[in-house]
Amino acid sequence: MSQAGDGYDGLRITQLTKEFATFTAVDHLDLDVPRGTFFALLGPSGCGKTTTLRMIAGLETPTSGSITLAGQDITYAKPYQRPVNTVFQSYALFPHLDIFENVAFGLRRRKRSDVDAQVTEMLELVELSSQARKKPAQLSGGQQQRVALARALINQPEVLLLDEPLGALDLKLRRSMQIEIKRIQDEVGLTFVHVTHDQEEAMTMADTVAVMNKGIIEQMGAPAELYENPRSTFVANFLGQSNLIEGAVLNRAADIVTVDMHGINVSIPTGRSHTAGDKGWVGIRPEKVLIGEEGAELDAPGNTIPGGVVSDVSFVGVSTQYLVRMPWGQELQVFQQNTGRARIFGVGERVELSWRPEYAFLLDISQDAD
Ligand code: ATP
C-alpha cells in the first residue's frame, strides 16, 4: 500500500474501470464513501456492483483507476493486506467449529491476546451470547448471518463489504435483519458498503445509495432524495413505481415550469434547466396522486387532470390500488391509503386525478437509459 496523500479519510474510488475481454463491467466509476457511513450500491443483475465490490476487496484487479482507503492507495494491494472484510450471502462458517470459535478464528490466527473478552463482546453485539457453544448447523439462517457479521467485524476492518448478505433469507427475516445490521453499524461506527438489487433494502439500511446501471452510477444520494427527485427514468422506475407521462415544456417562470401534458397544463417546481419546447417525462409516484369524482374539488391544490376512467381496482390492505385510463390512452397508477374515510371507486367510474405540484418531477426524454 502506498500513501495517496489526498487526506480523505473514507473510501475513495476514482475513475475505476474493469474490462472483461471486450465487455466493460465497470466504467470510469467515481465515488466517495465518508468514513463511518452506510453506503449501498444498488442496481439490477449485471450492472457491475459485485465487480466493484470485488475490486475494493482485492479479489479482482482493476483495468484502470484507483481505490484509496484512509489516504492509502490500495488499488493493487493483496486482499489480506487491506483493512477490508467481506460478508457473503453464503455465510462460509466453519461447520466443525462452534459459534464462539468461528468468531475467534481471525484473532487466534493472528495470535491476539484478550480473545475471550473480544469474542464475548462481539457475540453480545450480534445478540448471540446464548448460542456460543452451538455449531453453525444448529442455528437459523439469520443467526448464521449474524455469526458471519461478527466474524468479520472482530477484525476491526476500515471497511466492511456486504455482498447480498440477506439474499438467502425469507422476506420477513430479511426485513428484520436489515434493521439489525443497521443497528450494528450504528453501534460500531465502521464504514459499510452493501451491494444489493433490492431497492427497499438499500433505502432501509443506507445513508447514501448509489444506483448503478450498465457499469456507471446513474445517481447517488440520500434514499429520500433519490426517491423524490430521480434524475432519470431508470432511477425513477428502479426505486419504486412511477407514472411517467410525456409532455413538452411551455414556459418557465422562476423555478416553476409549465408543461403541456397531452393538452393539459401542469406546473412543476424544478431547480434544473428546462426551456420552452423541451420534451420531457412528467413523473409522479402512485401514492402522491389523489383520486376523486369528476368535477369535485379535490383536496390537493395545483394540478388536476380530468377525464379518467377507472380500469382496475385492487384492495391490498393498507391501500387500494387503481389503474385509471386517461383521455390520451395511458393507464396511470394511483395508490389510495385505506383510512376508512376515502370513497372506493369501481371499474368504469369517471374520475379526476390531482397532485400537488411539488410531488411531480420532470425528466429529460434524452436521458432515457432504458
Ligand atoms: P448480480 O447481481 O447478478 O451479481 P452484478 O451487478 O453484481 O450482478 P457483476 O457480477 O459485477 O454484476 O457483473 C457485471 C457484468 O460483468 C456482467 O455482465 C457479468 O456477466 C460480467 N462479468 C463479471 N465477471 C466476469 C468475468 N470474470 N468474465 C467475464 N465477464 C464477467
C-alpha 148 – ligand 1 centre gap (Å)? 24
- d(C-alpha 118, C-alpha 104), whole Å: 8
Q: Does domain 2-235 have CATH number 3.40.50.300?
A: yes
Would you state the pLDDT for residue 109? Answer: 87
Around Cβ 224, how many Cβ atoms within 10 Å?
A: 9
Look-up: residue for cell 463482546? Answer: 121
pLDDT tens digits, 123-166: 999 899 999 999 999 998 889 989 999 999 998 899 999 998 88
Q: Return the residue whose CA atom lies nearest to atom 5 of ligand 1.
A: 46
Alpha carbon of 50 to ligand 1 centroid (Å): 7
> How far apart (Å, rounded) are the C-alpha atoms in residues 284 and 246?
12
Sheet of strand 159-163: strand arrangement: 84-88, 159-163, 191-196, 38-42, 208-213, 216-221
3-state SS, 81-93, equals HCCEEEEECCCCC
Identify whether the C-beta of residue 186 lies closer than 8 Å to the C-beta of residue 31. no
Calculate how far, in angstroms, residue 64's C-alpha sits from the geometric centre of ligand 1.
Answer: 17
- Please work out whether the CB of residue 20 comes within 6 Å of at least one atom of ligand 1: yes
Which residue has its alpha carbon closest to ligand 1 atom 25? 20
Instruction: Give distance in angstroms: CA of 95 to centre of ligand 1.
Output: 29
In the chain, domain spans:
2-235, 241-367
70 lines ligand 1 (CB under 6 A): no
**Sign of the CA dihedral with 223 first, then 31, 216, and 277 last:** positive
Ligand 1 centroid to 25 CA: how many Å?
Answer: 7
Does ipTM top 0.85?
yes
Average pLDDT per run of 10 along the chain, which is 370 residues long? 67 97 95 96 95 96 96 94 89 91 92 90 92 94 90 92 86 88 92 95 95 96 94 92 94 88 91 82 94 74 88 94 97 92 92 93 69
Name the residue with the closest Cα to ligand 1, atom 17.
46
Using the mean position of ligand 1's atoms as its centre, give its distance from the Cα of residue 300 in Å. Answer: 46
Rounded CA gap, 52 and 47, in Å? 10
Q: DSSP letters along 12-35, please?
A: EEEEEEEEETTEEEEEEEEEEE-T
Q: Which fold has domain 241-367?
A: OB fold (Dihydrolipoamide Acetyltransferase, E2P) (2.40.50)
Q: What are the backbone angles phi and psi of residue 320, rounded to the nearest 5°?
A: -110, 130
Dihedral class, residue 15 (left if φ above 0, else alpha if ψ from -120 to 50, else beta): left
- Give the pLDDT score at 136: 94
Yes or no: say if 48 and 109 are a contact pair by the CB < 8 Å rule: no
Q: Whose CA is nearest to atom 24 of ligand 1?
A: 51
Q: Does the beta carbon of 213 lie inside 6 Å of ligand 1? A: no
CA separation for the pair 347, 292 (Å, rounded): 14
Determine if ligand 1 sits within 6 Å of the CB of residue 45. Answer: yes
Rounded to whole angstroms, the Cα distance separating 39 from 11 reads 10
Our answer on whether the CB atom of 54 is closer than 6 Å to any ligand 1 atom is no
CA distances from 306 to 206, 210, 214, 330 (A): 39, 37, 39, 13
Q: Is 130 in the pocket of ligand 1 (CB under 6 A)?
A: no
* pLDDT at residue 370 in the model: 42
CB of 51 shorter than 6 A to ligand 1: yes
Measure CA of the first residue to CA of the last residue in the chain; give whole Å.
Answer: 39
Is the C-alpha dihedral spanning 96, 99, 100, 102 positive or negative? positive
What cell was used for 305?
387532470
**339 φ, ψ (degrees, to nearest 5):** -90, -10
Centre of ligand 1 from the C-alpha of residue 347, in Å: 45
CA 163 / ligand 1 centre spacing (Å): 13
Identify the DSSP state of 343: P
pTM, full prediction: 0.88
Ligand 1 atom showing the smallest separation from residue 60 Cα: 27
- Reference 287, options 323, 220, 241, 248; nearest CA is 241
Q: Which atom of ligand 1 is nearest to the CA of 18?
A: 16
Shortest-distance atom of ligand 1 to CA 212: 6
The upper half-sphere exposure of residue 208, i.e. CA atoms within 13 Å in the direction of its Cβ, equals 16
Name the grid cell of 179: 434493521
In this prediction, residue 251 carries a pLDDT of 87
Q: Are strands 84-88 and 159-163 parallel, antiparallel or unpaired?
A: parallel
| Neighbour count for residue 3 (Cβ, 10 Å) | 9
pLDDT on residue 124: 92
- Sheet containing 64-69: which strands, arranged edge to edge? 2-3, 72-73, 64-69, 11-20, 23-33
